[in-house]
């Protein structure tokens, strides 16, 4: 069987959507980006405030913010010499909420998963 029905092969559009979806999730799959998004759930913040909230370095945050902005997850707005960032869409909050619900049940499995270690962040050291 070399080609069979073709039913199971992905169409070009489906493949593209798959890649977009993976890229979207990748925005949430890093502790630094995730902590930025979490910080912005409450209210818009400027970069300095995000530094305060996360404990990450300024350049690191700027890099991640650039990615999150490119990916359409956050938008920026100049105010004097401050740049305020906010989540672009309420469904980002929804996504995080569903993830939290899911996590509350499969947390044990995720906790035990050692195949892909999460990068050890410096989020509580100073």
83 binds DNA (CB under 7 A): yes
Question: Which one of residues 24, 28, 44, 47 is an interface residue with DNA (CB under 7 A)?
Answer: 47
- What gap in Å lies between CA 65 and CA 95, rounded to an integer? 19
The minimum distance between CB 61 and DNA, in angstroms, equals: 7
Q: Secondary structure of the chain: what % helix, strand, coil (to 5)? A: 55, 10, 35
- Residue 41, binding choice from a second copy, DNA, none, Cβ under 5 to 8 Å by partner class: none
38 binds DNA (CB under 7 A): no
35 binds a second copy (CB under 8 A): yes
The minimum distance between CB 22 and a second copy, in angstroms, equals: 5
Tokens at 34, concatenated: 């995730």
Q: Which residues pair with 76 in a beta bridge?
A: 85
- What gap in Å lies between CA 103 and CA 118, rounded to an integer? 16
């Amino acid at each position: 069987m070399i080609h069979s029905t073709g039913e199971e092969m992905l169409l070009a559009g489906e493949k593209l959507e798959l890649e977009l979806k993976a890229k979207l999730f990748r925005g949430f799959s890093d502790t630094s980006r995730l902590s930025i998004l979490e910080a912005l759930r409450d209210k818009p913040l400027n970069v300095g405030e995000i530094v305060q909230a996360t404990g990450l370095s300024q350049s690191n945050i700027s890099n991640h913010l650039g990615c999150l902005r490119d990916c359409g997850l956050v938008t920026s707005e100049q105010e004097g010499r401050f740049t305020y960032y906010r989540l672009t869409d309420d469904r980002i909050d929804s996504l995080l909420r569903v993830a939290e619900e899911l996590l509350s049940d499969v947390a044990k499995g995720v906790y035990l998963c050692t195949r892909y270690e999460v990068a050890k962040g410096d989020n509580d050291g100073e």
